[in-house]
Chains A and B, each alone.
Chain A
Amino acid sequence: MQHGKYRFIVGFLTVPLGLYALFVIWPFIQSIYYSFTDWTGLSPDFSMVGFDNYERMLDDDIFWKSLQHSLLFALLLPVVTIGLALFLSFMINVGGRRRRGGPVISGVRGSAFYKIVYFFPQVLSIAIVALLFAFAYNPDSGAINSVLRAVGLDDVQPLWLGDPDLALWAVMGVLVWSTVGFFVVLFSAGMASIPADLYEAALLDGANRVTTFFRVTLPLLWDTVQSGWVYMGILALGAESFAVVQIMTTGPGGPDYSTTVMVLYVYQKAFRDGQAAYATTIGVALLVVTLAFAAVVMKLGRRERLEY
């Protein structure tokens, strides 16, 4: 297969690689370079300023707030989302009533239905979900507070997105709502491939279902959980949190910067305030946080691979 091999390789790689280099790699390299300049983005002139932007960043209270919120997103969102998804998928796959002659462990009736419904938010744009919930959270005419009124909780009428202490949690709730279904489906597929005799053996040995979950299901599912964790963390640091915070909270960034996240702060500095160089500096910080997050999860989660 040597004939014309290199010509073919070059011919097939040039366009994709060129496009990728021009629109992805080149801007990445540039942005690290720009973080050492005083470029405004408005004029083509700039000069090198060394670590000035980085020093400024360390003194910037809003930066620290955005970092704090981004870290909270990256740490808490995967825990809540994956925890809830594991619980729900365990219920779907193991919560079934035992039928005569059937296996010891069985899924609930209608498990396919639950999985279809839970997956709905995953196919919707996060921007549309964010808009929908921005209205649902409306204190006077929103869906949520009027449900609270309907069940007699007239005194519990939070301002949700208008309350600096609550806005961030309200935003995070939307991300949980929209991503849980994806993980339920993912984990269900994993659980379905665990052989039933492992469960039977555990139950015969006197293990209850909670023990079974922690000793059998979770270890065998660990690889999927771990990659899901990294995936969710990257989303929570990047595009998803940008959309929800930018669309849902006032400012955007919330009352008193209470919901601002790093990715939004980069956007505002570059395209609202005309401080492109400073924006790339915060972007570099975001890159460091993302890589550190992935490294920590991979390291902490490393276990011996279980074969079954």
Chain B
Amino acid sequence: MKTTEPPAPVPAESGVTVTKAAVLSGEPVREKREGTVLNVFSHGILVVWAIMVVMPLVWAVMTSFKDDASIFGSPWSLPDTLHFDNWSRAWTQAHMSDYFLNTVLVVGGSLVGTLVLGSMAAYVLARFDFPGNRFIYYLFIGGMGFPVMLALVPLFYVVNNMGLLNTIHGLILVYIAYSLPFTVFFLTAFFRTLPSSVAEAAFVDGASHTRTFFQIMLPMAKPGLISVGIFNFLGQWNQYMLPTVLNTDEDKHVLTQGLVQLAVSQGYKGDWSGLFAGLVMAMLPVLAAYIVFQRQVVQGLTAGALK
């Protein structure tokens, strides 16, 4: 440029302004385009995965309203009419109502037990100094990483010898025991974060340790109890391995077992639509509860992994 054109007064400067302008205007354009491409691309990927998550669930709901012929003939077609009889058949004849009741009893009992016993142990371990404190703490949290199946073989006979096999209360006690490691781990950390001044004041005023715990500390620990409660509720409601081993009596089956049992027996009876109705029946309450308590559920379930 300099050699062909007559010497301009400020060629160097104009050159600089050009590059400056390129930096100022050109770069954002490239950046913007990159941003748009990325935006389209990421939405595409995200939508594809969302469809992959939702479609199997939609398929199950659709299938639960169809008759057997169209389930096999055209899996993705909409039901011709809504066969609500599938649902009532599953609820009564396939014993879904019994499985529901058993699950509610087992989970209700073990959830209350887990929270009460877990918070008692966690409170003592978090707030009191005594010989063996650390040992007991690690004994509890050690249970989180061990393969449960290893203990299940002798556990079957322990439970059997105590006459607790195939009983609702036996299952409750075992659920509590296996929920304690995470519950104690989580609540110990939580009790440590609570200020000690309130409890001390109550104690000075003459409240016993027990009373301080139930009337002062437990109400203060409510957010932690809710998180760990949701975590345990889902874990116990969805539990499959423990009842499969310890609860083999068909009348005492919980939902997950009952459905698997139903799937096996439907292989002979051929009532697939009823089975799908049962599946959806078991899925919907949990999904509905999740959508309502969405934030708390996510907090409860991810809290453990973030610690």
User: Which residues of A line the B interface, CB within 8 A?
Assistant: 1, 4-6, 8-9, 11-13, 15-17, 19-20, 22-28, 30-31, 34, 41, 87-88, 91-92, 95-98, 108, 114-128, 131-136, 140-143, 146-147, 150, 177, 180-182, 185-186, 189-190, 203, 208-209, 224, 227-228, 230-231, 234, 237-239, 242-243, 246-247, 263, 266-267, 270-271, 276, 279-280, 283-284, 286-287, 290-291, 294
Whether B291 and A116, one on each chain, are in contact in the complex, defined by CB atoms closer than 8 angstroms, is: yes
Question: Residue on A with the closest CB to B76?
Answer: A146
Q: In the complex, what's the smallest C-beta–C-beta distance from A228 to chain B, in angstroms?
A: 6
Cβ of B84 within 8 Å of any chain A Cβ, yes or no, is no
Cβ of B130 within 8 Å of any chain A Cβ, yes or no, is yes
Cβ of B198 within 8 Å of any chain A Cβ, yes or no, is no
Label chain A's interface by main secondary structure. Answer: helix
Question: Residue on B with the closest CB to A122?
Answer: B301
Cβ-neighbour of B117 out of A16, A131, A177 (below 8 A): A16
Cβ of B218 within 8 Å of any chain A Cβ, yes or no, is no
Whether B158 and A26, one on each chain, are in contact in the complex, defined by CB atoms closer than 8 angstroms, is: yes
Whether A5 and B306, one on each chain, are in contact in the complex, defined by CB atoms closer than 8 angstroms, is: no
Q: Using a Cβ–Cβ cut-off of 8 Å, how many residues does chain B contribute to the interface with A?
A: 100
Tell me, in angstroms, the Cα distance from A98 to B154 when the chains sit together.
Answer: 60
Whether B53 and A242, one on each chain, are in contact in the complex, defined by CB atoms closer than 8 angstroms, is: no
**282-307 of chain B: CB within 8 A of chain A:** 282-283, 286-287, 289-291, 294, 297-298, 301-302, 305-306
Cβ-neighbour of A177 out of B52, B257, B305 (below 8 A): B52
Q: In the complex, what's the smallest C-beta–C-beta distance from B252 to chain A, in angstroms?
A: 16
Whether A125 and B287, one on each chain, are in contact in the complex, defined by CB atoms closer than 8 angstroms, is: no
**215-241 of chain B: CB within 8 A of chain A:** 234, 237-241
Whether B306 and A96, one on each chain, are in contact in the complex, defined by CB atoms closer than 8 angstroms, is: no
Whether B151 and A20, one on each chain, are in contact in the complex, defined by CB atoms closer than 8 angstroms, is: no
**171-206 of chain B: CB within 8 A of chain A:** 173-174, 176-178, 180-181, 184, 200, 203
B169 contact set on A, CB distance < 8 A: none
What 1/0 flags go to B142-177 for Cβ under 8 Å of A? 010111111111111111000000000000011011
Cβ of B16 within 8 Å of any chain A Cβ, yes or no, is no
A208 contact set on B, CB distance < 8 A: 34
| Other A-B pairs beyond A239-B241, A286-B147, 12, CB < 8 Å | A1-B200, A5-B209, A12-B213, A27-B153, A97-B36, A121-B53, A128-B238, A150-B76, A182-B301, A239-B148, A267-B244, A280-B150
Tell me, in angstroms, the Cα distance from A290 to B147 when the chains sit together.
Answer: 7
B153 contact set on A, CB distance < 8 A: 27, 31, 34, 41, 266, 270, 276, 279-280, 283
Whether A120 and B287, one on each chain, are in contact in the complex, defined by CB atoms closer than 8 angstroms, is: yes
What 1/0 flags go to B114-137 for Cβ under 8 Å of A? 000110110110001010000010
